[in-house]
Structure 1
Amino acid sequence: MPLSAFAPSILNNGYAYRDHIGAAGQAQTVLAYLTQRYRHSDAATWTARLAAGEVTLDGQTANGTEQLRQGQTLIWQRPPWQEESAPLDFEVLYEDASLLAVAKPSGLPTLPGGGFLEHTLLTQVRRLYPEATPLHRLGRGTSGLVLCSRTRAAASGMLRGWREHKVQKTYRALASGLSPQDSYRISTPIGPVPHPVLGSVYAASPEGKPSLSMARVLERRGDCTLFEVEIHTGRPHQIRIHLASIGLPLVNDPLYGPDGLPLPHLPGLPGDGGYWLHSARLAFAHPVGGAWLELSAPAPMILQSGRESS
């Protein structure tokens, strides 16, 4: 059963963004550093925040003209802001002393970011499991299975398994168009490309990192295709990009077009929803003891084949 419900927009408690200055920040002014580090805001916005006393350098209120030295601590205390509404229901699928697996609803971010702090899976899970940390991230619009560690040893073991490609990850996706093939091996490289609002987003790019997905048709229906996709790498938005790169973008994807690139006219943001993508299955050796585990999260009805939903 779900453990919480849909929550309306809220005024959160604000957040302290903390930066430990490294060699790259040496000799920059505080204003120049903040403008370059947090590109969502321009210099005028940062000047206003500095004037309001929201930024400190080594515990002292900064005015923006200070020259930074390596080893200093710069903190922006962001005032409380109104967070968007989000579904907060999640379901526990598996738990033991080392691991926790939950089902995330579409519309709930996994981790803080993009204006979300309290309305995240991390915050909701930690209300019941304070020690839990998600080991991977699903996009805000993606539903399904998220695996969390409950100990440092479990986290270390699972992350090693991910790096060594020993974790099997299977998704369901609904793509636009009828697939002419029954299966695909998709190896389109993924890397940053220009975006008119964010500056850059991950998309299909010849200069990107190697990526591999195996897609299999489960069902053709009307003008769309239901896929089962196993990913062998974990690039950002990999399935959305890969299916789009073969001319079959996800139904209602607001960001990626049929070439795996951002839509040419007013592309959406990575966190925008509307598409159908679900983390359906994880299979791996347990980090403590090595027993083989196969965990699954039931797909929403629209991502079930006729045989499954009948």
Structure 2
Amino acid sequence: MSGVRWVEVTEDEAGQRLDNFLLKHLRKVPKMLIYRIIRKGEVRVNKGRSQPNVRVQTGDVVRIPPVVTAEAGQTVKPPRTQQDKIAQHILYEDSDLIVVNKPSGIAVHGGSGVSWGLIELIRNLRPEARRIELVHRLDRDTSGAIILAKKTSILRDLHRQIREDQVEKYYLALVAGAWPKDKYKVDLPLLKNTLRSGERMVEVSPEGKPSVSFFKVLNQFSDAALVEVKLITGRTHQIRVHAQAVGCPIIGDDKYGSEVANASFKKLGMARLALHAQKLGFTHPATGEKLFIEAPLFVDFKNIIKTLEAR
């Protein structure tokens, strides 16, 4: 993994799109990762954020962040123990796709500062499937069901289903405080911003994209609530920001949550983001079968619910 580089655009390179400029300087990095580091604001042109299609000019200075690269002809090899661990969390698999119950703390793919993620684990577990790609994403700290396609045709069809709102997504979340009894639908537009540090933040804003979540209280405890969330749209950090906007941030959320609540629940054993992608419903692209897959809660999430029920 290389360190941060500041590269000045030469006369020969002037006029190139930013994504193509980066592909030249990061030859061993997957194109998907190139777009990700641009989107996250880790790439800067003259100290400012930019877009993949912006054309760089002579003398521009491009910040290229540290990224994990593989030597030519090699693939990233995650620890065997981690491969064995993730193999135990495969919920569904056939010749076309895989659904995995991703543990919290595992990124969906390697990137800036992360040598490997879920995609690298699965590719190493299934080397015979040469086209494995992520169909969608989960935040690193969010656990739960995630789909990976083994074929390009399967990936395309599942992306179409997502665009046409044909994929059902249900989450479980543990939120701080008492959820308002009359607040079932949260319809608040969300806008992505990036701080000077490069950290990506999302906020409710009339200038943002339409974002709709449905919250159903499953159990109201004295100082927290267990809620089921159905996503209608799939914006970045949508559930986390909608919960915060209602006044009940998700337990363990170090970006949008309550430090006091996080510290209190950490003592009870919930030391991570209490958000779990519990159910996925979609149509199998090859068979036409309607699949509805449920991802069991991990032990820490189960235990905190038991603790709260016993109070």
Query: Could you tell me the TM-score, scaled by structure 2's length?
Result: 0.66
- Residue in 1 that maps onto 2:230: 230
Whether the 8 Å CA contact 1:193–1:201 is kept in 2: the answer is yes
**Superposition deviation, residue 246 in structure 1:** 0.8
Q: Distance in 1 between matches of 2:208 and 2:301?
A: 30
Whether the 8 Å CA contact 2:2–2:66 is kept in 1: the answer is no
Structure 2 counterpart of 1:128, from 122, 125, 130: 125
In structure 2, relative to structure 1, the CA distance for the partners of 1:203 and 1:164 (3 Å cut) is same
- Residue in 1 that maps onto 2:108: 110
Q: Distance in 2 between matches of 1:77 and 1:148?
A: 26
- Residue in 2 that maps onto 1:266: none
In structure 2, relative to structure 1, the CA distance for the partners of 1:174 and 1:76 (3 Å cut) is closer
**Superposition deviation, residue 13 in structure 1:** 8.9
> What aligned pairs does 1:52-91 form with structure 2 within 5 A after superposition?
88=82, 89-90=85-86, 91=89
- Which amino acid letter does the alignment assign opposite residue 99 of structure 1? L
Question: Which structure dedicates a bigger proportion of its chain to strand?
Answer: 1
In structure 2, relative to structure 1, the CA distance for the partners of 1:144 and 1:78 (3 Å cut) is closer
Whether the 8 Å CA contact 1:283–1:292 is kept in 2: the answer is yes
The question of 1:185 aligning with 2:182 is answered: no
Question: Which structure dedicates a bigger proportion of its chain to helix?
Answer: 2
Q: Deviations over 1:99-145 (max 9, x none)?
A: 11111110000022341132x11111110124321111110100111
In structure 2, relative to structure 1, the CA distance for the partners of 1:67 and 1:188 (3 Å cut) is same
- Residue in 1 that maps onto 2:242: 242
Q: Distance in 2 between matches of 1:79 and 1:101?
A: 25
The question of 1:296 aligning with 2:311 is answered: no
3-state SS of 1:251 partner? coil
3-state SS of 2:184 partner? strand
- Which amino acid letter does the alignment assign opposite residue 287 of structure 2? G
In structure 2, relative to structure 1, the CA distance for the partners of 1:247 and 1:275 (3 Å cut) is same
- Which amino acid letter does the alignment assign opposite residue 205 of structure 1? S
Q: Distance in 2 between matches of 1:250 and 1:233?
A: 19
**Superposition deviation, residue 42 in structure 1:** 7.9
Q: Deviations over 1:55-74 (max 9, x none)?
A: xxxxxxxxxx9668xxxxxx
Q: Distance in 2 between matches of 1:114 and 1:219?
A: 39
> What aligned pairs does 1:1-310 form with structure 2 within 5 A after superposition?
40=42, 88=82, 89-90=85-86, 91-118=89-116, 120-130=117-127, 131-181=131-181, 184-193=184-193, 195=195, 197-198=197-198, 200-257=200-257, 274-301=272-299, 303-304=301-302
Q: Deviations over 1:231-285 (max 9, x none)?
A: 0111011111111111110012111158xxxxxxxxxxxxxx8321101110111
- Which amino acid letter does the alignment assign opposite residue 230 of structure 1? K
Please give the root-mean-square deviation of Cα atoms over the aligned residues, in Å.
4.0
- Which amino acid letter does the alignment assign opposite residue 133 of structure 1? E
Q: Distance in 2 between matches of 1:299 and 1:76?
A: 35
Q: Distance in 2 between matches of 1:296 and 1:241?
A: 24
Unmatched 5+ residue regions in structure 2?
Answer: 4-8, 25-36, 48-56, 71-78, 259-270
Q: Distance in 2 between matches of 1:77 and 1:196?
A: 18
Whether the 8 Å CA contact 1:284–1:292 is kept in 2: the answer is yes
Whether the 8 Å CA contact 1:98–1:151 is kept in 2: the answer is yes
Query: Could you tell me the TM-score, scaled by structure 1's length?
Result: 0.67
- Which amino acid letter does the alignment assign opposite residue 98 of structure 1? D
Q: Which runs of 4+ in 1 moved over 4 A?
A: 19-25, 36-45, 65-68, 75-81, 301-306
3-state SS of 1:158 partner? helix
In structure 2, relative to structure 1, the CA distance for the partners of 1:196 and 1:228 (3 Å cut) is same
In structure 2, relative to structure 1, the CA distance for the partners of 1:108 and 1:199 (3 Å cut) is closer
Whether the 8 Å CA contact 2:68–2:113 is kept in 1: the answer is no
**Superposition deviation, residue 183 in structure 1:** 5.3
**Superposition deviation, residue 44 in structure 1:** 11
